[in-house]
Amino acid sequence: MLYLKGDRVISYNNHASTSVTITVVFSTIVAISGAYAFGNAVGYSSPAKSGIMEDIGLSLSEYAVSGSILTVGGMLGAACSGKIADLAMGISEIFCITGWFAIVFSKDALWLDLGRLLVGCGSGVICYVIPLYVAEIAAKNVRGAFSSLTIAVMFIMGSLINWRTSALIGVIPCVLQLIGLFFIPKSPRWLAKTNETKEFEAALRRLSGEHADISQEATDIRLYTEYIEQIPDEGLLNLLQKRYAYPLIVCAGLMMFQQFGGLNGFSYYASFIFESAGFPSTVGSIGVAVLQVRK
């Protein structure tokens, strides 16, 4: 990416350096565990539907609330994530772990709904923070494929094992990420933004390797951070200006049409849809899982 600073044109690459170190690999694995947690949340409802309704005695409308409330939690989590970005990965996993345990031990609709709401809040934070962190340290094409793969895994597992066991398995990636956060470096760009010079250089050196020359990359990040801080902070109402109309319509339209296309509804009720069409729910869930694994 090119940008102007004074009378100079500066190039800055907002992705990780080409070198792949053990720290980069480990940090990426820890970060994309959040993508696994998100995939678990989205792929859980459909295969678990029959077991939950039978064990807890839910009506179809009560189960529909528990499925849909994940989206409500996601909106709440995403809305708050920008303000707590430096703590968000840890907070998101605490939400998810608490939510999954509420689902595992739920005896009625209230605890099930509370669990889904908390998992949704954690997933909403994950959707904002994980891509930002992974984009700082590793290739960006990993996270989308990983999310799709984990949705597929949850569809298959959910159709073969008990719904409480499936929810308990959803805790595993959250715990792994929560522990891993103590061992991975913070985002170098975030440290540069907060003027933590020593920590910034240490994190960049850990990611690039002890013997790598980080001087040019460190300079680029600092200059880019200074440039970003010079940009005026415009409020939400400024998005209504005419010059922002086209990009705003495109961005909002893409998200709106994706939701109105019924993607989440199909994911949450795929088993029920296949059963209504005369197919075994297990076959339907596995079929959806295969389609989820795409390039």
- Greatest Cα pair distance, the chain, in angstroms, is 69
Instruction: Calculate mean pLDDT across residues 41-47.
Output: 75
Which of 64-73, 136-145, 218-227, 286-295 is the least confident region? 136-145
pLDDT at 99: 92
The tally of domains found in the chain comes to 1
- Between these two residues, 168 and 289, which has the higher pLDDT value? 168
pLDDT at 140: 46
Q: Which of 97-101, 121-125, 288-292 has the highest mean pLDDT?
A: 97-101
- Nearest residue to 143 (alpha-carbon basis) of 155, 158, 128, 157: 128
User: How far is Cα 211 from Cα 206, in angstroms, rounded to an integer?
Assistant: 10
The model scores a pTM over 0.85: no
pLDDT at 9: 43
Q: Which of 25-29, 136-140, 234-238 has the highest mean pLDDT?
A: 25-29
Pairing relation of β-strands 2-5 and 8-11?
A: antiparallel
* pLDDT higher than 90, residue 114: yes
CATH for 187: 1.20.1250.20
Instruction: Calculate mean pLDDT across residues 98-111.
Output: 91
pLDDT at 156: 64
First CA to last CA distance, the chain: 26
User: How far is Cα 232 from Cα 105, in angstroms, rounded to an integer?
Assistant: 49
- Report the share of the chain in percent with pLDDT over 70: 71
Instruction: Calculate mean pLDDT across residues 191-202.
Output: 80
pLDDT at 8: 46
- Between these two residues, 36 and 220, which has the higher pLDDT value? 220
Which of 39-48, 136-145, 215-224 is the least confident region? 136-145
pLDDT at 118: 92
Residues near 136 by beta carbon (within 8 Å), at least 6 away in sequence: 14, 15, 16, 187, 188, 189, 190
* pLDDT higher than 60, residue 6: no
- Nearest residue to 126 (alpha-carbon basis) of 167, 166, 181, 202: 181
Torsion sign, CA atoms 66, 68, 72, 77 = positive
Which domain does 34 fall in, by range? 2-292
* pLDDT higher than 80, residue 73: yes
Which of 112-121, 195-204, 286-295 is the least confident region? 286-295
pLDDT of 270-284, one tens digit each? 777 777 777 776 666
pLDDT at 11: 47
CB 120 within 8 A of CB 70: yes
- Nearest residue to 49 (alpha-carbon basis) of 265, 277, 294: 265
* pLDDT higher than 80, residue 12: no
* pLDDT higher than 50, residue 178: yes
Torsion sign, CA atoms 58, 73, 164, 143 = positive
Residues near 209 by beta carbon (within 8 Å), at least 6 away in sequence: 19, 21
